Structure 1
Amino acid sequence: MERRGSGFKTILDVYEAQERYKEELKPVFYTDGYNFFLTLWNLNYEYNKAQNKAQNKAQNKAQNNQITNREHILLLLKENPSLTQVEISEMMNKSRRAIQMWMKELIAEGVIERIGSKKMGSWIVK
C-alpha cells in the first residue's frame, strides 16, 4: 500500500462525475473505530423508476387501445426521451432491428429528432 486512504479521492471524483449525480447522493464514509463503512447510493434508482413508469404507461395504452408499434415508441419517448433503441426493444419485446426501422421512418417523417450524441443524447417528439 503506497498511501493510506489514497483511493477515496478517486472514488469521490469518479462518483461525482456521473451523469445522474446529485449533492444529496454524495458517498458517506463512517468508522466505528474497528470497522470502516462506505455507502455509495444507487445513482440509477430514480432513472429506473422513471423508465418503469414509462414502460407501464405505454404498455397499458397498447393493451387497451391496440396502438401501433410506432405509436408505442412515441409514447415511450414522450415519457423518457433518453431511452436507447435497445431499451425500447426490450420494453416492447421486439427486435432492435424492428425498432431501428420504425424509428428511421419517424425521423424521415420529422416526427422525432435526436439531440446530442448517441450515448448521452435524447429524443424530441414533435
Structure 2
Amino acid sequence: YSPGGMFDGRLIQQLNPLTVPSKRRNPLLADFFHRLKLMERRGSGMKKIIGEYKRFENLENYHAPEFSSNATEFHVTLWNLNYGEDVVKDNLHVVKETDDVVKDVVKDVVKEKANATKEFAKAQRQIYKLISQMPQISAAQMSENMGISLRQVQRYLKQLSDLNLIVREGSRKNGIWKILDDEYEDFFKRI
C-alpha cells in the first residue's frame, strides 16, 4: 500500500504495468536518493516484480502480482507462492536443488548484494570525492583519508572498476583515476 494514486490520475488496473512510464513527483529528491543508492531513478519496480514472479508461473499455486489504484491509494498484492525451499524454477523447468547448487546460488546473491550495501555506497561517495579533488591519489592515501584499511579500499576500487564506474589511466605510480559514472559528473549541474 502507498498513499497517493497514479501521478497522472489514471488507474493502474486499466493499464499494462509493463508499459507504464516512470514519472517522479519530485525529480530532485529522486536523484538525491538514487545517489545514496536508496532508490533507482528509472522506475523499474513493477517490471522487476512481474519478471521475478514470471519465473515461477509453472508452479501449482502460482498467482501473478496484482496492481490497483484509485485517486488516493496504490496497492500491490504479492501472493505467497509457497514453492518450498527445495524447488527452483530454471528455464521453465522445476528442478530439485543439491547442496552445492544452493551454496553457489547463495554465494552469488551475497556477492551481488555487496554492491548495494550502505557501506559500499558511502565508500563510493568518498572515493569519488577524493578522486575529484586529487585524480592522482593512491589507494594508500585513500585509506588514510577514509579511515579504513588499504585492503578494504582496494576491494572498493576493484568493485567500482568492475562496474565500469572508475578507471585507472597510466602507470601504477604516476597514473590518475577517472570517474566514468555519468550520473556522478552530472549531479551537481542538475541542482
Name the TM-score, length of structure 1 as normaliser.
Answer: 0.46
Larger CA Rg, structure 1 vs 2:
2
Name the TM-score, length of structure 2 as normaliser.
Answer: 0.31
